[in-house]
Chain A
């Protein structure tokens, strides 16, 4: 039973570029959430997708956007990259419309470095 998988594992970009990160949820899960984790910090919520719609959003600018596909997989897009976007980007999946009371399971993340 595959857990949450993310790709790529590492990525290096330069300022101003755009990046797309990908996530496949755990089997049986239909809800995907994205988090940004800076070094030495806890993960910060970016947004959550359910039924291909963005359901909740954290305090991140519009440069951060996402998408969920009919097979529940998801993408995170970041435009006009800044040095401060360097972080570990985590995807978490869970089940059900009431995502607030179901455990979210995380992938191992994509390490994004901005030069």
Chain B
């Protein structure tokens, strides 16, 4: 079946470095993508979204890149901080309103 997946289940990054979290999707009908951050004991928190007519979108310290040719999505976090430690999910929405999540990448920031 079609699914959203992340390349690596864990990522360890030094405080102050940039982080890159990758995600591969397989549903070519997906036209909207969202990155969420989930801290322990909390619900997923919206970080940034991107629509299929774009290939890059920037927010505060975060950038999402979309490569539709290879069905790849990435989240870049600049100057990673301890508060960025969390599980990160990419989610896709085909044209049927259902968010489909991957298993997530756990990011650990080293001091």
Contact = CB atoms under 8 A, between A and B. Distances in A.
Contact of A55 (B43, B45, B97): B97
B46 A56 contact: no
Interface stretch (A65-73, A75-83, A106-114): A106-114
Q: How large is the interface on A (under 10, 10 to 19, 20 to 34, 35 or more residues)?
A: 20 to 34
B60 to A, nearest CB: 16
Contacts of A99: 97
A106 B38 CA distance: 10
A101 B43 contact: no
Interface of A is mostly: mixed
A56 B96 CA distance: 8
Contacts of A104: 34, 46, 99
Interface in B76-111: 89, 91, 93-104
Q: How large is the interface on B (under 10, 10 to 19, 20 to 34, 35 or more residues)?
A: 20 to 34
A40 B10 CA distance: 12
A109 B97 contact: no
Interface of B: 31-32, 34, 36, 41-46, 49, 51, 89, 91, 93-104
Interface of A: 4, 33, 35, 40-45, 48, 55-56, 58, 90, 92, 99-101, 103-109
Given A42-B102, A105-B46, 13 more contacts: A33-B97, A42-B104, A45-B98, A55-B97, A90-B44, A92-B44, A100-B96, A101-B31, A101-B51, A103-B34, A106-B45, A108-B43, A109-B43
